[in-house]
Amino acid sequence: MEKKEKINLVESFQEFKEFKNIDRVTMMSILEDVFRGMLIKKYGTDENIDFIINIDKGDLEIWRNREIVADDEIEDPSLQIALSEATKIEPDFEVGEEVSQEVSLEDFGRRAVLAIRQNLASRILDLEKEGVFKKYKDRAGDIVTGEVYQVWKKETLILDDEGNELILPKTEQIPTDYFKKGDTVRAVILEVEMRNHTPFIILSRTAPVFLERLFEQEVPEVFDGLITIRNIVRVPGERAKVAVESYDDRIDPVGACVGMKGSRIHGIVRELKNENIDVINYTNNIPLYIQRALSPAKITSVNIDDEKMRAEVYLKPDQVSLAIGKGGYNIKLAGKLTGYEIDVYRESDVDQEDVDLEEFSDEIEDWILDELKSIGCDTAKSVLEIPVEELVRRTDLEEETINDVVKILKEEFE
């Protein structure tokens, strides 16, 4: 083979040589494997073929060896060559000797070379996919950082630092997340699976484990195992509750997680688009656990029904709306955190002359009444006990609407 042809062999496959995640040894063995398949197709066998590989340079030489026989004694042209043909290569060749000829790309023909290229590309792609799958298959629950490459309606495509594709579905994004091409995104690996020989790495920013990993990154005591996160519940972008405990009495788990003036938790809150995070001390004392879970509300007493997994919580009237929280998130998350269904009651010494809000349905529209009930106000006096500006802050109602409601309710008692 002439020098030019040898270079052709290497340069023709140059783009495959430095393929990401595939080392040169693997690359050359794939190249050899692909060529062997083509040689068997062309010559019927590859047992008399020698491959000389220079890994450092990325060179591959192919030599075909055949035994010289008399012109009339050829039985297998793949393994034998006629003496008359052999002497054209080297005049002093004799019967019984072996001829080694270098195979060039030109020997295969243009169509065969194209087929080799396609086969090689396919093999490398499969290897690449397998490599990506192996890299991520045991990493579910780990945080990754990537760059937004494309944003679609139902999902966002993110590239990791090696250019591998990661998928962040819309359903796994915080409602207030807004990404554009080039943004850096942090998320947790939710699941890794192969679909039709293609690896799918699904990310999440809404999974509780994402919040857990953020705590590990921001709070050294959590990372070191001095503080244990017992449970996490979330309404992504709205509120989260994290139960923590420490086996070391010298460590205040809540204080360590929040940090001086909230320094540690502030970064987590910012990452989660201002999600309110309540960090509470875990305890096996269920009434106390429920009391802590309902913070910031202050509870007067708790009755537990362990069989039905229900809890009756009694509070002063001004604490009821705090316990329920905006949109009912506080009581909903407290229930999920503790595993108990929580019913909230005002203390029984409430003025019996109070009037149920339902009785004002002819004067106040139902959707307004529903909004007031959602913050724990179900009687006239429970609304009147809360200042107007506080009602505006806790509900989605306009100040003018609340003033009208307050006027109607006050008239009832005058």
Q: Identity (one letter) of the amino acid at 377?
A: C
Quote the pLDDT of residue 224.
93
- Phi and psi at 352, nearest 5°, equal -70, -15
Q: Mean of the pLDDT values across residues 152-180? A: 93
Per-domain residue ranges of the chain: 3-134, 144-204, 208-282, 357-413
Identify the architecture of domain 144-204 in CATH.
Beta Barrel (2.40)
Mean pLDDT, the chain, rounded, equals 84
Q: Mean of the pLDDT values across residues 133-153? A: 92
Beta carbons within 10 angstroms of residue 95's beta carbon: 13
Q: Mean of the pLDDT values across residues 58-81? A: 79
User: Tens digit of pLDDT for each residue in 337-352?
Assistant: 999 999 988 875 444 5
Q: Which fold has domain 3-134?
A: N Utilization Substance Protein A; Chain:P; domain 4 (3.30.1480)
pLDDT at 277 exceeding the cut of 90:
yes
Looking at per-residue pLDDT, the higher value among 83 and 226 belongs to 226
Query: What order of strands is seen across the sheet that includes strand 299-305?
Result: 299-305, 310-315, 341-346
Contacts of 82 (CB under 8 A, 6+ apart): 68, 69, 70, 71, 74
pLDDT at 22 exceeding the cut of 70:
no
pTM > 0.95: yes or no: no
pLDDT at 4 exceeding the cut of 50:
no
Identify the architecture of domain 208-282 in CATH.
2-Layer Sandwich (3.30)
Q: What percent of the chain has pLDDT over 70?
A: 90
Tell me how far CA of residue 102 lies from CA of 9, 40, 48, in angstroms: 12, 16, 12
Beta bridge partners, 184, equal: 147
Contacts of 383 (CB under 8 A, 6+ apart): 357, 372, 377, 391, 405, 406, 409
pLDDT at 1 exceeding the cut of 60:
no
User: Tens digit of pLDDT for each residue in 355-386?
Assistant: 888 878 888 888 998 888 888 888 888 888 88
